Amino acid sequence: MATHVITGAGSGIGEAVARRLHARGDEIVLHARDAGRAKELAAALPGAQTLVGDLSDPGKLSWALSHQTLPDRVDSLLHIAGVVDLGAVGDLTPKTWINQLNVNLVAPAELTRLLLPQLRVAQGQVIFVNSGSGLNAHAGWAAYGASKHGLKALADALRQEEHGNGVRVTSVYPGRTASPMQAKVHQQEGKEYDPSKWIDPESVATTILMALDLPRDAEVNDLTVRPGR
Ligand SMILES: NC(=O)c1ccc[n+]([C@@H]2O[C@H](COP(=O)([O-])OP(=O)(O)OC[C@H]3O[C@@H](n4cnc5c(N)ncnc54)[C@H](OP(=O)(O)O)[C@@H]3O)[C@@H](O)[C@H]2O)c1
C-alpha cells in the first residue's frame, strides 16, 4: 500500500487531496503545525498518522522530526501547505517576506531533504503545489511570487538530481482556487469573495492524483490548472 506524506492537509487543496487518498485506503501521514492541530487532523481522517513541525521555522524541522517516528518508505511527498500576504514592495517588511519564503520555499526544501532517503527507497514522487504566481509575478505579489518562483527552481533542480534515483518530481500550478487562502486574498485586495467563480479544490486534487497515479514509464513535470469559467 502506498504511503503519502501531506502538508497543508487541514484546509483547502490539501484537505481535498488527503480525503481522496484516505478514501481509497492509502496510508496517509498528515503534517501539522503543532500537536493540537495534528490531533484535529487525525480525528478527521481515522487511521491517519501525523508529523508535527512548524513550517514557518524550517531550521527546527530536523530536530522536530528526529523526535518522531518517520515512515520507512514514502511513495509520495505532497507539499501543499502555503501562506500568502499581499503588499507592494514599498510596504512589505522583512517579517512578511521571511514568513512566506520560509513556509512556501525553505520548509519544502528542508522536508524534502529529511525524507529523501525514504523517497529513494520507494522510488517515490515529490509533488509541489506551486501557483500561477510561480510563473508570472504581478504588482502586489512580490513576496508570494518570489517564494513560488523559488519553489519552481527547487522542483526543477531536484528533478534533475533525483532522476537517477527513480524519484519523480512534479510541480502543479493552480490558478485561483476557492479556499480560505483565496478568501484572505480577496480581503487584502478589497474585493468581494464569491467562491463559485474559482476552481473547486476537488478539481486541483484530481489534477494532483492524475500526476501521482501516472504509470512509472512517464513523469508529469509541470501542470497548469486555470479556472474554467
Ligand atoms: N487558493 C488559491 O487560490 C491557490 C492558488 C494557487 C496556488 N495555491 C497554493 O495551493 C496550496 C494550498 O493552498 P490553499 O488555498 O488550500 O490554502 P489554505 O486553505 O489556506 O491551506 C493552507 C494550509 O497550509 C497550512 N500551513 C500554513 N502555514 C503553516 C505552517 N507554518 N506550518 C504548517 N502548516 C501550515 C495550513 O495549516 P492550518 O490548517 O493549520 O492553518 C493549511 O492546512 C498553497 O501552497 C498555495 O500557495 C493556492
pLDDT number for residue 1: 85
The answer to whether the CB of 76 falls within 8 A of the CB of 125 is: yes
Residues whose CB is less than 8 angstroms from the CB of residue 42 and which lie 6 or more positions away in sequence, other chains included: 30, 48, 49, 50
Q: What are the grid coordinates assigned to 105, written together?
A: 520555499
**pLDDT classification of 213: cutoffs 50, 70, 90:** very high
Mutation choice for ligand 1 from 5, 7, 13, 50, CB with most ligand atoms inside 8 A: 13
Whole-number Å distance between alpha carbons of 65 and 204: 28
Whole-number Å distance between alpha carbons of 202 and 93: 34
Atom of ligand 1 nearest to the CA of 176: 3
Q: How far is the CA of 6 from the centre of ligand 1 (A)?
A: 12
Atom of ligand 1 nearest to the CA of 103: 31
pLDDT in tens, 1-14: 899 999 999 999 99
| pTM of full prediction above 0.85 | yes
108 ligand 1 Cβ < 6 A: no
Whole-number Å distance between alpha carbons of 134 and 152: 7
Question: Which is the catalytic residue, given 97, 128, 144, 198?
Answer: 144
Residue 47: name the closest of 93, 1, 87, 81 by CA.
1
Mutation choice for ligand 1 from 179, 181, 186, 191, CB with most ligand atoms inside 8 A: 181
Per domain, the residue ranges of the chain are 3-225
Mutation choice for ligand 1 from 20, 30, 80, CB with most ligand atoms inside 8 A: 80
Find the helix or strand (DSSP H, E) in which 79 lies. strand 76-79
181 ligand 1 Cβ < 6 A: yes
Identify whether 193 is a catalytic site residue: no
82 ligand 1 Cβ < 6 A: yes
| Sign of the dihedral defined by the CA atoms of residues 19, 207, 128, 113, in that order | positive
Residue range 176-200: average pLDDT? Answer: 97
3-225 maps to CATH 3.40.50.720? yes
pLDDT in tens, 69-79: 999 999 999 99
Q: What are the grid coordinates assigned to 154, written together?
A: 527547487
Residue 97: name the closest of 40, 89, 217 by CA.
89
Q: How far is the CA of 217 from the centre of ligand 1 (A)?
A: 31
Whole-number Å distance between alpha carbons of 54 and 144: 18
174 beta partners: 225
Instruction: Spell out a b/e string for 158-187, using b for 16 or more CB atoms within 10 Å of the CB, else e.
Output: bbeebeeeebbbbbbbbebbbbebbeebbe
pLDDT number for residue 229: 78
**pLDDT classification of 29: cutoffs 50, 70, 90:** very high
Whole-number Å distance between alpha carbons of 48 and 68: 15
Residue range 94-109: average pLDDT? Answer: 98
Residue range 196-211: average pLDDT? Answer: 98
pLDDT in tens, 108-165: 999 999 999 999 999 999 999 999 999 999 999 999 999 999 999 999 999 999 999 9
> Please, where are the H alpha helices in the chain?
12-23, 35-44, 61-66, 94-101, 107-122, 142-162, 180-189, 201-213
DSSP result, 42-72: HHHSTT-EEEE--TT-GGGHHHHHHTSPPPS
